[in-house]
Amino acid sequence: MDQNESSANRRRFLGQALAVSATVVLANQVLAQPQPKEPGKGPKPTPPGLADKPSKPAAPGNAGAAAPAAGAGPSHPSLEQPPLPYPQGALEPAISATTLSFHYGKHHKGYFEKTNTLVEGTPFKGKSLEEIVKGAAKGKQHQKLFNNAAQAWNHSFYWQSMKPKGGGAPSGELAQRIDKDFGSYEAFKTQFTQSAVDHFSNGWVWLVLDKGKLKIVDTHDADTPLVRGQKPLAVSDVWEHAYYLDYKNARKDYVTAYLDKLLNWDFVAQNLA
């Protein structure tokens, strides 16, 4: 090996040694950096606005969010169907346990499930049910979400609008409000019943507060006074699934039973307070 060859070998060796050292230093620097967490690992963030703000105690339509079942479902908390405020057979004979089991356990549950699916990946995710209903009502592009979210809210409000051994004429201040705005309880009852009987196809009949006055209004499909500037006080579901197993096509008999045996005036008074 002559002197020139020996010098060239030395330069090659030094170059390789420097390259190895640089690689080790770079690797150490990379390892020292905070590593991103795997998706789904570590504590979940608490999305803002999930703690719902029910205007009334235990208002099931506003139950908002709750943690999903462990190990399943979306990574953020979902809206949870609130429990019925009474056992499924508690409204018999006016409404059978069979009707309530299907109505609550299939129809209402389905609206919550669809709403949870539809809000995934949208700005509606993490909002309360009431916020979703009001937000989705603002654009036709959200019609499907509105239909399901509003049906979830309306049904929760409906369960609370009834109670075992309810119905009949209210008393006290509420009786005076009914007399003032409808003329009499009998006039209120006649108007509510007629509104339910005359309502074409599926929908809802509501007692609402509108500009300080009690009114009866009906809405079609999933529509709700929540998005019409009216304050809902009580509601009767006049979709056929609400009464067909018990009353067949006799909607008038169902609404009469609702008014005479079920209407929860305590809930109306709470909403008026």
Choices 66-74, 185-193, 205-213, 237-245 (CB under 5 A): range interacting with Fe ion: 237-245
Angstrom distance (rounded) from CA 184 to CA 262: 19
Q: How far is the CB of 107 from Fe ion (least distance, A)?
A: 5
Binding window for Fe ion (CB under 5 A); candidates: 48-56, 73-81, 198-206, 230-238: 230-238
In whole angstroms, give the CA distance from residue 169 to residue 234: 14
Closest CA to 254 of 213, 210, 199: 199
Q: Is-contact 70 131, C-beta < 8 A?
A: no
Q: Compute the distance between CA of residue 155 and CA of residue 130 in angstroms, rounded to an integer.
A: 13
- The Cα angle at residue 180 between residues 177 and 184, in degrees rounded to 5: 95
Q: Which one, 175 or 217, has the nearer CB to Fe ion?
A: 217
Closest CB 62 distance from Fe ion, rounded Å: 18
Contact string (CB under 5 A) for Fe ion, positions 188-227, x = contact:
----------------------------------------
Residue 153 is a binding residue for Fe ion (CB under 5 A): no
Q: Other CB atoms closer than 10 Å to residue 139's CB: what's the count?
A: 10
- State which of residues 237, 238, 255, 256 lies at the interface with Fe ion (CB under 5 A): 237
User: How many H-runs (helices) and E-runs (strands) does the chain carry?
Assistant: 10, 5
Find the shortest distance in angstroms from Cβ 208 to Fe ion.
18
* Stretch binding Fe ion (CB under 5 A), from 24-32, 92-100, 194-202, 232-240: 232-240
3-class DSSP state of 118: helix
In the complex, minimum distance from the CB of residue 147 to Fe ion, in angstroms, rounded to a whole number: 13
**204: closest CA among 137, 251, 266?**
251
| Number of residues binding to Fe ion, judged by CB under 5 A | 3
Residues 27, 155: Cα–Cα separation, whole Å: 59
Q: How far is the CB of 255 from Fe ion (least distance, A)?
A: 14
Of 119 and 242, which CB lies nearer to Fe ion in the complex structure? 242
Q: Which is nearer to Fe ion, 239 or 265 (CB)?
A: 239
Determine if 239 is a binding residue for Fe ion (CB under 5 A): yes
Reduced to 3 states (helix: H, G, I; strand: E, B; else coil), residue 215 is strand
- Binding residues vs Fe ion (CB under 5 A): 237, 239, 242
